Amino acid sequence: MTIGTHPAYFRPMLHALARNWWLVLLRGIAGIVFGVLALVWPGITLLTLVLLYGAYALVDGIVALAAAFTGSARPVPTWWLILVGLLGLAAGVVTFAWPGITALVLILLIGIWAIAHGVFEIIGAIRLRHEIDNEWMLILAGALSVVFGVLVVAMPGAGALGLIWAIGAYAIVFGALLVGLSLRLRSHRHAPATPAAARRGRQ
């Protein structure tokens, strides 16, 4: 088994994320708040929703980068989380830097961001699968992002109300999955090492 696939190779990454479980929680809460606003805001326009989504992507990117770079005394392989953060920053900056572009272009940007975001979330979950029991939450969150992004890119001209409901529902479910993952990471942080885990690390 090479170092790139050895479970012990990913343990520092898991510990770094576990120490910063609250940052993952913040990402989840941001998604839920955005989704609720999208669904309950009376008379919200599609352009307003897209700008709100840009703000959410910006916050998500900043928090993801913070989770990638803090909490560990030594470098850990969190490049996938760094890419998630950079994608969020890029989506947020583009949304606010060119407010004059059409809502259709911004919707396509949302779809592309969601696809790339989901792919890297899935990659991260696969790399954590040896060390955490509930990696399926991150996989499901990533898959949800990919499916949502594909639907948005495939049908960017769908009705405004339908897109608003789709974007809001996606954000709430995605946020809830991240909240669940953060609580799992929190319990890992306080859980003592087990003999089984130690044996897995020596394999």
The confidence score (pLDDT) of residue 168 equals 87
CA 181 to chain centre: 11
Burial class (CB in 10 A: 0-12, 13-18, 19+), 12: middle
Which residues lie below 8 Å from residue 29, measured CB to CB, with a gap of 6+? 175, 179
Neighbouring CB atoms inside 10 A of 99's CB total: 11
Task: Read off the tokens for 154.
Answer: 């495939």
Q: Does the model's pTM come out above 0.75?
A: no
Give just the sign of the alpha carbon dihedral 69, 73, 75, 78: negative
33-66: pLDDT as tens digits: 989 988 888 677 777 877 788 888 888 888 888 8
